[in-house]
Amino acid sequence: MNAILKDRNSQIVRAGADTKTIACNKPSLAGAVSQRACVFCGSRVVLYPIADALHLIHGPIGCAAYTWDIRGAMSSGPEIHRMSFSTDLHEKDVVFGGEKKLEAALLELIDKYQPKAAFVYSTCIVGVIGDDIESICKKVQALKQIPVIPVHAPGFQGTKKDGYRAACEALEVLVGTGNRPAQEFSINILGDFNLAGELWILIDYYKRMGIHINATITGDGRVEDVANAHKAQLNVVQCSGSMMYLAKQMKEKYGIPFMKVSYFGIEDMSDALYEVATFFKSDDMLTKAKEIVRFEFARLMPELVKYKQALQGKKAAIYVGGSFKAISLIKALRLIGVQTVVVGSQTGTADEYEIIKQLCDEGTIIVDDSNPAELSAFVKETKADIFIGGVKERPIAYKIGLGFCDHNHERKEALAGYEGMLNFAKEIYATAMSPVWKFTK
Ligand code: SF4
């Protein structure tokens, strides 16, 4: 296929036919126009939902533009996170340095918004001119008596995945600094960003099982909770691509075990509840988890059956940030009669791609770190009816003339948990069956 560059062949396999292991976890091919975002973007995505912190982007205004209140991460209290602050570096700052501007911006913003902490993100140009943001942060921290944490994230230094790591390193600075008393049966929820309030759905399930939520990192996040995250007995990690580093560090430093879960689809949501109950070795908790699953299943299935009948035979293309989420999506789509014909991710791992290969029907195209030319070609070849992705995949779908479902951080619809599964089915149905697509062909 013309759309595939020769050097990209190793990152594309077909389920059933290919015996080769997909190549992944490597830098994007120069000139391939990867769908991946930059290091700064990766760090910003992870830290963004900490609602009582100041997020100051040290760089030109363009870096900050995308992060201004575009994301669906909700807060039950303060909302400083919804604003995007930038030092707005210009040519003069590039020549003479931006440190004074950064210090002045921090002092002014802390006085005005009274945040509990500040994160200072470095961007490409700061990496080039070499501003010492570390020393400015230290100085302002001493003056204002709140944590002021540098996030080392010049965009060009790697990929979005390196940005996840930079965010985890910034969180690590906070973790362990609180001294709240520990509680029994307490967990931290890592890697849920409370998009459209879906974290609150999950918290409700866990609370019904008798579990105490110690900290949510970073959905509906608070600085104090992150500081006390070391008091939990278990880290429950969704979005493992972004949060696994922090979970591993916390295991090493504080001896807190972690488990990987997914909250998308009935099967994975139920497994998450069972696995947490099993971890605490509590029969009572397991019984409550079973009750929740039974109740939600009985409520949901009659609705899902209707969507399954209507959607039977439809085909979907999936391109998301991490491959772990893609696994849940394949299962959730199958539950409503939709076959996955293309599946890929920006930062997937070899193990997860192998699971995907086993899970998918023969011929399904599996792709790592793809680009618009490839994705368009794959979608056309497989005659997919719907595309599930994020903000950068939406135009690909619409240009080809097929339905799109946003499963990324910009969405305003909760797709996690049992309620989320129903919302997902409704959205897939509404977009795949819309009569508008017959006018675009
Ligand atoms: S690549 Fe560099 S300039 Fe572009 S958004 Fe990322 S940090 Fe900013």
User: Mind listing the pLDDT tens digit for each residue in 313-347?
Assistant: 999 999 998 898 899 999 999 999 999 999 999 98
Residue 1 confidence (pLDDT): 54
Cβ atoms within 10 Å, residue 263:
28
- The DSSP secondary structure of 53-111, one letter per residue, reads EEEEEES-HHHHHTTSS-S-B--SS--GGGS-EE----HHHHHH-SHHHHHHHHHHHHH
Which residue puts its alpha carbon closest to atom 6 of ligand 1? Answer: 155
Residues with Cβ within 8 Å of residue 10, at least 6 apart in sequence: 20, 22, 23
Q: Is 241 in the pocket of ligand 1 (CB under 6 A)?
A: no
Ligand 1 pocket test: pick from 156, 157, 162, 391 the residue with the most ligand atoms within 8 Å of its Cβ: 156
pLDDT digits (tens, 9 = 90+) for 256-278: 999 999 999 999 999 999 999 99
pLDDT at 96 over 80: yes
Distance (Å, whole) CA 334 – CA 39? 34
- Residue reference for tokens 């995907």: 356
Distance (Å, whole) CA 275 – CA 260? 10
**Ligand 1 centroid from CA 45, angstroms:** 13
Note whether 208 and 288 are within 8 A (CB): yes
Which residue puts its alpha carbon closest to atom 8 of ligand 1? Answer: 63
Contacts 24+ apart (CB under 8 A), 129-133: 129/93, 129/94, 129/97, 129/98, 131/58, 131/97, 131/98, 131/99, 131/102, 132/99, 133/58, 133/99, 133/102
What domains can be seen in the chain, in order of their start residue? 6-24+312-410 (3.40.50.1980), 39-172 (3.40.50.1980), 186-290 (3.40.50.1980)
Residue 188 confidence (pLDDT): 98
* Ligand 1 nearest-atom number relative to CA 153: 7
Residues of the chain with pLDDT > 70, as a percent, come to: 99
**Ligand 1 centroid from CA 38, angstroms:** 6
Which residue puts its alpha carbon closest to atom 5 of ligand 1? Answer: 63
**Overall average pLDDT of the 362-377 stretch:** 96
Q: Is 121 in the pocket of ligand 1 (CB under 6 A)?
A: no
Nearest to 34 by CA among 345, 353, 378: 345
- Residue reference for tokens 């918004």: 113
Distance (Å, whole) CA 191 – CA 347? 15
Q: Is 38 in the pocket of ligand 1 (CB under 6 A)?
A: yes
Nearest to 187 by CA among 119, 87, 275, 113: 275
Residue 440 confidence (pLDDT): 81
**Ligand 1 centroid from CA 433, angstroms:** 38
pLDDT digits (tens, 9 = 90+) for 149-205: 999 999 999 888 899 999 999 999 999 999 999 999 999 999 999 999 999 999 999
Residues of the chain with pLDDT > 90, as a percent, come to: 87
Ligand 1 pocket test: pick from 124, 133, 157, 162 the residue with the most ligand atoms within 8 Å of its Cβ: 124
Q: Is 126 in the pocket of ligand 1 (CB under 6 A)?
A: no
1: tokens are 């296929």
pLDDT digits (tens, 9 = 90+) for 403-421: 999 998 888 889 999 999 9
357: tokens are 């290969």
Q: Is 63 in the pocket of ligand 1 (CB under 6 A)?
A: yes
Q: Is 123 in the pocket of ligand 1 (CB under 6 A)?
A: yes
Residue 399 confidence (pLDDT): 93
- The DSSP secondary structure of 158-169, one letter per residue, reads S-HHHHHHHHHH
Residue 410 confidence (pLDDT): 81
* Ligand 1 nearest-atom number relative to CA 41: 6
Q: Is 155 in the pocket of ligand 1 (CB under 6 A)?
A: yes
pLDDT at 240 over 90: no
- 355: burial class by Cβ within 10 Å (0-12, 13-18, 19+)? middle
435: tokens are 């009569």
Residue 329 confidence (pLDDT): 95
Average confidence score pLDDT of the chain: 94
Residue 18 confidence (pLDDT): 82
- Residue reference for tokens 């866990």: 206
Residues with Cβ within 8 Å of residue 254, at least 6 apart in sequence: 176, 230
Confidence label for 441 from pLDDT (cuts 50, 70 and 90): low
Q: Is 179 helix (H, G, I), strand (E, B) or coil?
A: coil
**Overall average pLDDT of the 110-127 stretch:** 98
- Half-sphere exposure (Cβ direction) of 193: Cα atoms closer than 13 Å: 22
Triad 362, 365, 370: Cα angle to 5°:
165
Q: Is 59 in the pocket of ligand 1 (CB under 6 A)?
A: yes
Note whether 376 and 400 are within 8 A (CB): yes
**Ligand 1 centroid from CA 123, angstroms:** 6
- pTM, rounded to two decimals: 0.93
**Ligand 1 centroid from CA 56, angstroms:** 14
Residue 203 confidence (pLDDT): 98
Residues with Cβ within 8 Å of residue 324, at least 6 apart in sequence: 239, 240, 241, 260, 262, 348, 352
**Residue 387 dihedral angles phi and psi, to the nearest 5°:** -115, 130
pLDDT at 239 over 80: no
Residues with Cβ within 8 Å of residue 271, at least 6 apart in sequence: 261, 262
pLDDT digits (tens, 9 = 90+) for 290-302: 999 999 999 999 9
Q: DSSP E strands: which ranges in 144-275? A: 148-151, 186-190, 212-217, 234-237, 258-260
Highest mean pLDDT among 32-41, 61-70, 216-225: 216-225
Query: Computed from CA positions of residues 246, 46, 428, 391, in that sequence, does the dihedral angle turn out positive or negative?
Result: negative
**Ligand 1 centroid from CA 60, angstroms:** 9
pLDDT at 309 over 90: yes
**Ligand 1 centroid from CA 4, angstroms:** 26
